[in-house]
Structure 1
Amino acid sequence: MESRCPYVLDTTGRDVHAEGERLREQGQIARVELPQGVMGWTVVGHELAMELLTDPRVSKNPRQHWPAYISGEIGQDWPLASWPAMENMTTAYGEDHTRLRRPVVKAFTPRRIRAMQPYIEKTVASLLDDLAATAPGEVVDLKKHFAYRLPASIICDLFGIPEEARAEVLRGGEVTTDSSITPEEAAANVQMWTKQFAQFIEAKRQFPGDDLTSDLIADTESGLTDSELIGTLFVALGAGSETVMNLITHAVFRLLTNPDQRAMVEDGRASWEDVIEETLRVESPLNMLPLRYAVEDIEVDGVTIPKGDPILMGYAAIGRDPNVHGETAAEWDITRSDKEHLSFGHGTHYCFGAPLARMEAMIALPALFNRFPDMAMAVSEDELEPQGTFIMNGYKTLPVVLSAPVGAHAAS
């Protein structure tokens, strides 16, 4: 079998797409070096990802299938320690995964998601009213004031997170997705969110409400332990805010920098569904998702993944696979007939919040552009800073001008 030299991942995520292309030079899967010299693999090919995402020889449970974690070699001070530390459906295998996923999926029924539409519309309208107070010509960070606030409000309301605790609760998820944090920051974050969610769960036990956290606590059939409840809340809040934020941010940026395609949406030649699905394909909100583990030696794409090795899914690169989308795979084109992507995963670990994420984007994007038809980027693409991690695919900020300065049209 072929031996591949490890590629040292850039923990600062300066250019995740360029890095994805370099990884692709090794084939559908690349040998990579994670923080602190931990060796692993990143899948960048669509076909292989489909295969491994449903392969029973691939586990998500580090407590069963990652020897370095079991032995204590990987501790809480590892920069990605939050991922294996949480006990929930995303770190479970086999029957445990089914048991942990069932109560959450039950809460995210299609009927419940549809019933949320008026509430999402009201939240979007309120955020747009806040933006409308911006002075004409003033630069505003649309990521911070819209793309972040919308999903954060929705998911925190769903799980009953009190207003005064939201910033701190969501901060834990933001740190978890930062691959450049120090060992000290990693250890402190694990301790902080564990304590924080334990206190929140105890408060909900004493004073339950009409929210999903109270429902999960009351669901005695699922038999979730406190540790599993903490892990479930952590992944639901993180996935429900960070990923939707990046989806909306990328979609807005692409529409503002591709006026011809924006015009196609406005005159009906293309749909908002086209915008959302093509954005998910070419700009997956997640760049690389940690972590999976080889249950046994696995031979794929000319190499052997040794038993116990960690595996990452390189969703940003997978969406741009030229074997699926041809030479223009890296181009954002809403008229593309095949927008197939795996940005919400595949198989038993498919994202349970995908319908909610799509609904939020479907409501938010047309409302935003209808309210601010003159919106424009305030900086060039070269001036946008990356999010600063190899886990997520996003920008730190999205500076825009919502409307032209007073007198600008007359002057021109």
Structure 2
Amino acid sequence: MGCTLSTTFRSRITARLGRTYLARIQRHGLGSSTVRLLPEDLLMLLRRDGLDPVRRVAATRAKAPVSRVSLPFGMDAWVVTGYEESKAVLGSADGFSTDFAHLAGNAGIGAEQSPGGLGFSDPPVHTRLRRILTPEFTMRRLRRLTPRIEAIVEERLDAMAAAPGPVDLVHAFALPVPSLTICELLGVPYGDREDFQRLAMDRFDLFGGTSAPFGAMSASLDYFRGVVRAQRRSPGDGLLGMIVREHGDSVDDEELAGLADGVLTGGFETTASTIALGSLVLLRNPEVAERLRSDETAAAPFVEEVLRYVSAVQTAFPRFARRDIEIAGVTIPAGDMVLCSLSGANRDPSYVTDDGGFDPGRTTPAGHLAFGHGIHRCIGAELARMELRVAFPALARRFPAMRLAVRPQDLAFRKLSIVYGVESLPVLPGRSAGGVPRATAS
């Protein structure tokens, strides 16, 4: 009896300490003191060595593609680094949950802070919401955005060509292209593009303290509630207006704000990072840039290889086991958290036959996990592809002599992030092929 009571008491204390620890992260972000408490087997999912996953990911995958990680205060999580194993987890909606309530309960976060949308919901709620959004993301409807995407890209290239001295490609090109595209898609004011960038980026800043990530979610939802109210009064031609006209009050304001927030989250920062990192790939591979300039069919395979190679979204949303479930011969207990390394899975030798490095001649195998897998696969995948297929060839054509304005070793990559990226990418575009002369850099 005494032993049983002692074990129960110890379990309660451990759970309480764990909740306190997670709540501290929510309030203050991942400061250096907090990071020191986390095991490297977890942090490796959020680190990179340049454009490559850290070596520990490959070593872990070779040893155990599904491995348990002990978190502070006796909590356990599971790290999945293999391709087939990640597909098994991400593809099992009945075996794993992404419901926000799991995170809220563990971190002491109120349910009112739920971001809603698709990423943090389970069927049947997820099924109903995705059914509403899916028609808006068919290629037929997305094609209406093609002229606007092309115009946005050209406008940003014109601005780069007119700027004196080195240009930061991240802020001049990679960020504005998806930001303005999403403004167009959702039908929100063009003047709000700065807020879009700030709200989307804050939630991926793990060192941001009270503004990130849940604070950024709340701010974003507050903003979209206002947009939704405006669309209710006068539905526009964008996605929100279409949903209001076609579904009326069957989608309430909170659901619609959550859907808009999910589009922003999934479509802005991830695409911006892929544009920036893919541009760096072009700078390192001038023969590929030349191919994009001369061969219109080269864009699609280049985009797929870049998506797989850079895997901007490093880790999928956390999953929680609904029951004891076996993955690759390993039993994951009910309630445990599971984290899938998308960057690790996309480099798995069982999926790609070499070390997974960038190969301009590679025909990327179907099924890369850059957009996830299963019912939570990114609904905006085709929109992202459209943007990338326009952006990369246009950049290569406009600035055939573009080069880095700093030493490669001086580039600052994000040190610990869910969405990987480079903080800035200073370039010397050179003379614009469109005829706009470039000022000489001093």
Tell me the TM-score range normalised by the shorter chain.
0.7 to 0.9
Q: Which of these residues, 81, 97, 100, is aligned with residue 62 of structure 1?
A: 100
Deviations 1:213-264 (A, max 9, x none): 1222333378223222221111101211111112211221111112244344
Instruction: Give the counterpart letter for 1:273 in structure 2.
Output: A
* C-alpha distance in 1 between matches for 2:199 and 2:438: 41
| Superposition map of 1:245-256 within 5 A | 245-256=272-283
Q: Is the aligned partner of 1:90 residue 2:119?
A: yes
Contact 2:146 2:386 in 1 (8 A): yes
2:135 maps to 106
The aligned counterpart of 1:119 is 148
Distance 1:37 1:220, change over 3 A: farther
RMSD between aligned alpha carbons? 2.9
| Structure 2 counterparts to residues 330-341 of structure 1, below 5 A | 331-340=357-366, 341=368
Deviation string 1:27-65 (CA, Å, 9 cap, x unpaired) is 2223346799964223221111222222121122233xx
Letter in 2 for 1:20: V
Displacement of 1:183 in angstroms is: 5.0
Residue 377 of structure 1 aligns with which residue?
Answer: 404
Partner residue in 2 for 1:73: 106
Inter-CA distance 289–53: structure 2 relative to 1 (3 Å threshold)? closer
**3-state SS in 1 of match to 2:350:** helix
Matches of 2:175 and 2:190, distance apart in 1: 15
Q: C-alpha displacement at 1:380, in angstroms?
A: 3.0
CA distance in 2, matches of 1:357, 1:279: 12
Indicate the SS of the match to 1:324: coil
Contact preservation (8 Å) 1:289, 1:312 = yes
Contact 1:279 1:332 in 2 (8 A): yes
Per-residue deviation at 1:149? Answer: 0.4
- Give a deviation string over 1:87-117, Cα, whole Å, max 9, x none: 1222222222110101111111211112222
Q: Is the 8 A contact 1:177 1:389 kept in 2?
A: no
Give the conservation status (yes or no) of the 8 Å contact 1:103–1:219: no
Q: What's the counterpart of residue 423 of structure 2?
A: 396
Stretches of structure 2 lacking an aligned partner (at least 5 in a row): 1-38, 432-436
Tell me, what secondary structure is at the counterpart of 2:247?
A: coil
Question: Counterparts of 1:233-382 in structure 2 under 5 Å?
Answer: 233-266=260-293, 268=295, 271-329=298-356, 331-340=357-366, 341-382=368-409
Q: What is the CA–CA distance in structure 1 between the aligned matches of 2:212 and 2:41, rounded to whole Å?
A: 25
Superposed, which structure 2 residues align to 1:142-157 within 5 Å? 142-157=169-184
Contact 1:11–1:35 (8 Å) recurs in 2: no
- Cα distance change, pair 23–228 in 1 and its aligned pair in 2 (3 A): farther
Paired amino acid for 2:143: R
- Percentage of identical aligned residues: 32
String of CA shifts for 1:347-374, please: whole Å, max 9, x gaps: 2222221111111111111111111111
Shift in Å at residue 321 of structure 1?
Answer: 0.9
Q: Any conservation in 2 of the 1:270–1:334 contact (CA below 8 Å)?
A: no
Q: Does structure 1 conserve the Cα–Cα contact (< 8 Å) formed by 2:45 and 2:341?
A: no
- Scaled by the length of structure 2, the TM-score of the pair is 0.80
More contact order relative to length (CA 8 Å, sep ≥ 6): 1
Query: How many corresponding residue pairs?
Result: 392
| Aligned residue number for residue 4 of structure 2 | none
Shift of 1:266: 4.4
Picking from 90, 99, 114, the partner of 1:53 is 90
Structure 1 residue 85: Cα displacement: 2.2
CA distance in 2, matches of 1:181, 1:34: 22
Amino acid paired to 1:58:
F
Letter in 1 for 2:146: Q
Unaligned stretches of 5+ in structure 1?
A: none
Counterpart-to-counterpart distance in 1, 2:390 and 2:141: 16
Deviations 1:285-332 (A, max 9, x none): 201122221111112234322211222221111111122213331x10
Assess, with a 3 A threshold, how the Cα gap between structure 1 residues 104 and 28 changes in structure 2: closer, same or farther. same
Whether the 8 Å contact between 1:142 and 1:397 is mirrored in structure 2 is: yes
Work out whether residues 251 and 275 of structure 1, in 8 Å CA contact, stay in contact via their aligned partners in 2: no
Cα separation, 2, equivalents of 1:10 and 1:54 = 23
CA distance in 2, matches of 1:217, 1:346: 29
Residues 1:6 and 1:361: Cα distance change in structure 2 (over 3 Å): closer
